[in-house]
Structure 1
Amino acid sequence: MRENKVVCRELDCGNPVSVSRGHLIEDGRGGVRLLRCSGDESSIRQCDIRRGRPGFCDGEYYHHVTCSESVRLVNGAGLCSGRVEVKSNQSWASVCEADFDRQDAEVVCRELGCGAPAALQGGLYGEGEGQTWDKEFQCKGKESLLLDCDTSDRKHNTCLPGNAVGLTCSEPDDVRLVGGGSRCAGGVEWYDQGEWRTVGTLSDAKAVAAVVCRQMGCGSTVSVLPGNTTRGIRVSCSGSESLLRECRRMHDLLPGLTVICSESVRLVDGAGLCSGRVEVKSNQSWASVCEADFDRQDAEVVCRDVGCGAPAALQGGLYGEGEGQTWDKEFQCKGKESLLLDCDTSDRKHNTCLPGNAVGLTCSEPDDVRLVGGGSRCAGGVEWYYQGEWRTVGADDWDVAAVVCRQLGCGSTVSALPGNTTRGVGVYCDGDESALRECRRRYYLLPGLTVICSDLLVQPDIFLTDPMGGVFRGHQGPEMFRGYNFTITCSTQPQYPGGSFLLTFTGSNRTQTQPAVNHSAAFLFPAADDSHQGNYSCVYDNYVFSHNFSSESELLSLTITGN
């Protein structure tokens, strides 16, 4: 779209209205022209133009561009918003608010390929630097082009500063989500050449989903999953586009894309899908929520609404301040609702929300990944809960294993080995993601992945016993009378056979080791004296999966007392 904006600007034809692709075209010398523009150039000659090979990158197709020709929207957030400017004597003129009404706006939005007008206001997108259009538009609202409308002489001789009309059109209804039980969930379809077609992608599914949710006003992405393989439209997005039609596309055989959006609530400016500033949809715009109007039960509903785990952190100003309005109600959730907007609300007790009080929320990651068949929650074949069932995850790199161990809270990766080849969900990660669902999906058959994480062994238990009754509970922990015998027992859950326990005594080099019998070991101490006072811990060691693993218990602080 950046290149197409430059083309329309150089031809003095307004803004791009639509972009499509044609067949391979060569420049007569065995190659095609590849353009890379920033979008600010006045001519494509200022862009990076290089020769390419047929079939190289996107150069195997040429672009069909339709420009708006006689009207454009300037300084807006996308193709469907900005200051209205009309072409007059080969230059562009802004339009005065007094000369432009709702019916005129309907024609402009239609001409630019956008939806119905959503906002119409003078000064909304700044003042133009050139002249002002010298006629008053008198559209009936059904015309295809603004210059098809009747005009009359202006009733006003001047257009005061701040009155250059700004227009926001709603996004066109050329994208939809189907089969998900909600307009904000389902398979992605794009209205293309007179019919709805499946949308697929190769490596940037998360970016495409972000654009879809944004375009449909459906909050942030909750999940992205591959659908059935079908002939459709292949799309590639950066994730910052306001419309799917601003992304690159071609026709190709790809799996469809299933997207679930949060619909009425989103988390903004966080580190991932499960953290950020809480914003609620209000009158087609997004409003931040004041910390005083939001509690733990509200947070539980939001985390559930966006497809994450339980709340982990809740604090005002945690993820910055919103630029728009503040939600004007206080939520009164019971904590069991499925959606935030299912909760009751009441009038706010506070008239204002002071800076730094826009509530930020961090949810834990959902339990949608597990390791199976390894005898531990931190070892085994990777499975992902997908479309109502657990499916094998296919991958061929260490980075996926690193994300799995991190998401499960299982430490670092010890080994990652291919398992059986099976039809499952292919995944590619960079390695720094906090959850597997932040990675990209692959759409071909890969071997399943068996992962072993460093925190393989559960934490052992440590406790003290005394057959003679010389131990009692003190203020700082167990206390032992001098001269009495005592026993420190180490035990662990029955994960793997064998192994050994090392009993350490903090503050000295004194250690004892015993093999684990029935997953426990008892260490006997005769005649307690001052030398036995201190901190003890059990370290369980075992050789499993061709690696040594260990896990340490909590400290047991023993005090020696009495004569």
Structure 2
Amino acid sequence: MVVEHRVEQRVEKREAVTQSQLEDVKTQNSDLQAQSVSPPAELSVRLVNGTTSCSGTVEVFYRGEWSAVCSGWWSMRDVMVVCRELHCGDAVAVNQEALVEEGRRGVAIKSCRGHESTITECGFREGGPGYCDGRNYHYVICSDLQAQSVSPPAEHSVRLVNGTTSCSGTVEVFYRGEWSGLCSSWWSMMVAKVVCRELDCGNVVAESRGPLFEHNTRGVRLSSRCSGNEYFIRQCDNRGGPGYCFGEYYHHVICSESVRLVDGAGLCSGRVEVKSDQSWASVCEADFDRQDAEVVCGELGCGAPAALQGGLYGGGEGQTSDKEFQCKGNESLLLDCDTSDRENNTCLPGNAVGLTCSEPDDVRLVGGDSRCAGGVERYDQGEWRTVGTLSDVKDIAAVVCRHLGCGSTVSVPPGNPARGFEASCSGSESSLRECPRSYDRSPGLTVICSESVRLVDGAGLCSGRVEVKSNQSWASVCEADFDRQDAEVVCGELGCGAPAALQGGLYGEGEGQTWDKEFQCKGKESLLLDCDTSDRENNICLPGNAVGLTCSEPDDVRLVGGGSRCAGGVERYDQGEWRTVGSDWDQRDVAAVVCRQLGCGSAVSVLPGNTTGAHGVVCDGTESALRECVITFDRHSGLTVICSSVQPDISLTDSMGGVSRGHQGPEVFRGYSFTITCSTQPQYPGGSFLLTFTCSNRTQTQPAVNHSAAFLFPAADDSHQGNYRCVYDNYGFSHNFSSESELLSLTITASPLPAFIIRHVVVLLILLTAITTSYLYYKPTRRQKRVNRVSSVDLYVNAMEMVSLSSRAEAGPGEERAAQGTE
């Protein structure tokens, strides 16, 4: 009985447990059923049919069902928001998939900025069934933080962090196992351009200085400046180390994401390309108009559109976008514009649209008489800042004048005493923002540009192809429309000396239009545009006729107190008076520029000058004139320079017509006399000339008389053929001076006629000229005519006797008999 009672208790207990478990299961099932009927949040997002939970086709829950997302344009900024909402890390890729099924409900997402937390913050263009007909699904891949590979990034690879998009933020470089800030004392848009290219973003839009590096923070320093053509930042030569960037700054970069200009001359010109499915595609000219161009120029940080033309910057090598843009012109981004499918899916060769935007208004000249003169300022991080430099003055001035649409640099007077951040240009940049800059404080820079005329592609400020400004664009001038008096006005307007050379095609043809007027200057005008003009009779300027002009350097430098124009204390004419020039550094470079400007050869010696306080000068030694160097208000001791003489000239002459010009240089007929003359400009008294002959060891030396010496050769023969050179030697100021001329290559050839016949012809021509002149300009009496006739006969007889004697003296026996027979 006891056993049976225990069994009954166990059975009752087991049944009670089973009943409790059943109740729990019912409760759980009811919870699951309740969960299953609760719909997702409206406009939530998911990825389906992917290889991981963080990849797949994008769908949005809309009005009770999952709907396709079918935006006409999809960018990485939209993908960033999707990945962020799903906690899937960074955006990796987006691809366009198959067309949305006909009649299915669709949702179009407005363009995201990239910083939104959820897709709903971007906004939607809602549609019902059939809204997505003719459009495509979008497949997204996120990095998936939980499934990321442990493989480290490549050494010296680059990234942007803490930005509003994947193409903006603080620059970091992967170095020795960790991400480090990138610092450089010189930073420019060219470095930022390489960063954007490596990240497969678009054009660089802006760069700015970030906060200071923390103490003992590892950094990677850019040890050389990027040219802007590199594909990776590591090609710019980096070097790094812990604490290396202390005292310097982080750098922020903003790149465009889905539009860029390629193969242009600067940051604001090139072929338009848009990003589609992670690849770049050209845009057909027919799908792109002025309003679209305004949006692109604004998005890239440039000014208004200046030129829009198919094939302007090549046809590109990739695909062509199949969308037609329909911007209103006031959108911030090209992807904010409406698009439509192109009716004709063919873009003919040469129709890839090229765009030239004007440069941004971030540079100005202040305190001058016009917008083309004054102290240089650049708009940077919300304020106008002074621009200064200690080098590259000519190049910086050229870039500033070009940026402002002014002409050539007229002068770079001593800068304002305010000190600004330092800039360094090569001179070829389109705008000042392309030049490297440093936040070191340097003396302010003042620039004076011409307004309506310039010289381009020359060696200095005073040479180049003449261009005038017409309707806000620059035009070359045809050689036929420009003469010496016009050149005098241009040289004077640009602050140069007198014209030295004027020739068509001397400095290339240029790529723009040709000026359609003929200048009629009198030579006294202050500006070229003050001259009268007339319409050109023939509106065609043949190739090779774009006029090139070389002006001499201005007479604003001299050497005083040295007994020669090529030795003495350096002075420069500035603001109406001669001022002493000094330098406490780069003295050899300053001396080289002074000697070059004065035409005095090379610098021989640089000595301490007078102790008078002088304007400081900084040169790099390559400048054509002292005005191209940095001139500061700092006071220095004076500078004394001794230059060598200039390169002597060598020339060939003869008295009887025995010299001709051949294909290889001058030629002398065998048996004829010739003279080689060495000369130099008057700088130092005395000296001597040494004539060297490269085909033998023989040399001749003569004293310099009136700065020249003549070397006579009575009769040319084959031993005289070869190369000759003049060497000028002098001594002064306790220094030996020596300079060499260019080579004179001389060829000896056979005469086409015997020498004595040519002599007779020359004498007869001289007599005929004299008799004709006498007959035309004098009216003598009959008796005087008789006397003149006798005198003429006597003159002829005497001349013939001289020729006979000369022939017998120089000819051999056979030639002497021939000469007697002729007489």
TM-score range with shorter-chain normalisation? 0.7 to 0.9
Instruction: List per-residue Cα deviations over 1:305-358 (Å, max 9, x = no partner).
Output: 111011122222333333333221111011111111221111113343233322
Q: 1:232 to 1:432 in 2, by over 3 A?
A: closer
Instruction: List per-residue Cα deviations over 1:36-69 (Å, max 9, x = no partner).
Output: 555444433455332268678x994332111011
One-letter amino acid of the structure 1 residue matched with residue 540 of structure 2: T
Give the Cα–Cα distance (whole angstroms) in 2 for the partners of residues 193 and 3 of structure 1: 18
Question: Match for 1:447 among 634, 637, 640?
Answer: 637
Give the Cα–Cα distance (whole angstroms) in 1 for the partners of residues 391 and 702 of structure 2: 56
Give the Cα–Cα distance (whole angstroms) in 2 for the partners of residues 392 and 84 of structure 1: 54
Give the Cα–Cα distance (whole angstroms) in 2 for the partners of residues 429 and 197 of structure 1: 24
Give the Cα–Cα distance (whole angstroms) in 1 for the partners of residues 271 and 211 of structure 2: 36
SS at match of 2:445: strand
Q: 1:415 to 1:298 in 2, by over 3 A?
A: same
Instruction: List per-residue Cα deviations over 1:211-230 (Å, max 9, x = no partner).
Output: 11121222322222331232
Structure 1 residue 271, shift from structure 2 partner? 2.7
Bigger mean CA deviation after superposition, 12-21 or 377-386 = 377-386
Q: 1:59 to 1:294 in 2, by over 3 A?
A: farther
Give the Cα–Cα distance (whole angstroms) in 1 for the partners of residues 490 and 513 of structure 2: 19
Aligned twin of 2:317: 129
Aligned twin of 2:512: 324
Q: 1:32 to 1:444 in 2, by over 3 A?
A: farther
Question: Match for 2:469 among 273, 281, 286?
Answer: 281
Aligned twin of 1:51: 240
Tell whether the 8 Å contact from 1:202 to 1:443 is kept in structure 2 after alignment: no
Unaligned regions of 5+ residues in structure 1, if any? 457-498, 503-508, 512-541, 550-563
Tell whether the 8 Å contact from 1:422 to 1:447 is kept in structure 2 after alignment: yes
Give the Cα–Cα distance (whole angstroms) in 2 for the partners of residues 34 and 295 of structure 1: 51
SS at match of 1:338: coil
Question: Match for 1:151 among 335, 339, 353?
Answer: 339
Structure 1 residue 122, shift from structure 2 partner? 2.0
Q: 1:357 to 1:162 in 2, by over 3 A?
A: closer
Matched, 1:437 2:624: no
Tell whether the 8 Å contact from 1:421 to 1:445 is kept in structure 2 after alignment: no
Question: Match for 2:616 among 417, 421, 426?
Answer: 426
Instruction: List per-residue Cα deviations over 1:168-195 (Å, max 9, x = no partner).
Output: 1111111111222122211111112222
TM-score by length of 2: 0.53
Aligned twin of 2:779: none
Give the Cα–Cα distance (whole angstroms) in 2 for the partners of residues 178 and 123 of structure 1: 39
Structure 1 residue 510, shift from structure 2 partner? 13
Structure with greater strand percent: 1
Larger Rg: 2
Give the Cα–Cα distance (whole angstroms) in 2 for the partners of residues 266 and 52 of structure 1: 48
One-letter amino acid of the structure 1 residue matched with residue 625 of structure 2: A
Give the Cα–Cα distance (whole angstroms) in 1 for the partners of residues 215 and 342 of structure 2: 50
One-letter amino acid of the structure 1 residue matched with residue 237 of structure 2: D
Aligned length: 474
One-letter amino acid of the structure 2 residue matched with residue 228 of structure 1: N
Structure 1 residue 383, shift from structure 2 partner? 1.7
Aligned twin of 2:718: none
Structure 1 residue 450, shift from structure 2 partner? 2.4
Tell whether the 8 Å contact from 1:399 to 1:429 is kept in structure 2 after alignment: yes
Give the Cα–Cα distance (whole angstroms) in 1 for the partners of residues 400 and 407 of structure 2: 10
Tell whether the 8 Å contact from 1:118 to 1:170 is kept in structure 2 after alignment: yes
Give the Cα–Cα distance (whole angstroms) in 2 for the partners of residues 275 and 79 of structure 1: 27
Question: Match for 1:161 among 349, 366, 375?
Answer: 349
Unaligned regions of 5+ residues in structure 2, if any? 1-188, 647-684, 689-700, 704-729, 738-823
Structure 1 residue 70, shift from structure 2 partner? 1.9
* Aligned counterparts, 1:468-547, within 5 A: none
Q: 1:321 to 1:130 in 2, by over 3 A?
A: closer
One-letter amino acid of the structure 2 residue matched with residue 49 of structure 1: N
Tell whether the 8 Å contact from 2:202 to 2:258 is kept in structure 1 after alignment: yes
Aligned twin of 2:206: 18
Tell whether the 8 Å contact from 1:315 to 1:360 is kept in structure 2 after alignment: yes
TM-score by length of 1: 0.75
Q: 1:88 to 1:449 in 2, by over 3 A?
A: same
Instruction: List per-residue Cα deviations over 1:218-272 (Å, max 9, x = no partner).
Output: 2322222331232433212222211111112233332110111233222233332
Matched, 1:364 2:552: yes
One-letter amino acid of the structure 1 residue matched with residue 327 of structure 2: C
Give the Cα–Cα distance (whole angstroms) in 2 for the partners of residues 76 and 23 of structure 1: 33
SS at match of 2:444: strand
Tell whether the 8 Å contact from 1:2 to 1:39 is kept in structure 2 after alignment: yes
Structure 1 residue 410, shift from structure 2 partner? 4.9
Give the Cα–Cα distance (whole angstroms) in 2 for the partners of residues 333 and 180 of structure 1: 27
Aligned twin of 1:260: 448
Tell whether the 8 Å contact from 2:393 to 2:628 is kept in structure 1 after alignment: no
Tell whether the 8 Å contact from 1:297 to 1:335 is kept in structure 2 after alignment: yes
Tell whether the 8 Å contact from 2:216 to 2:242 is kept in structure 1 after alignment: no
Aligned twin of 1:80: 268
Bigger mean CA deviation after superposition, 276-285 or 402-411 = 402-411
* Aligned counterparts, 1:19-38, within 5 A: 19-25=207-213, 31-34=219-222, 36=224, 37=226
C-alpha RMSD over aligned residues: 3.6
**What fraction of aligned residue pairs are identical, expressed as a percent?**
81
Higher relative contact order (CA 8 A, sep 6+): 1
One-letter amino acid of the structure 1 residue matched with residue 486 of structure 2: D
One-letter amino acid of the structure 1 residue matched with residue 593 of structure 2: V
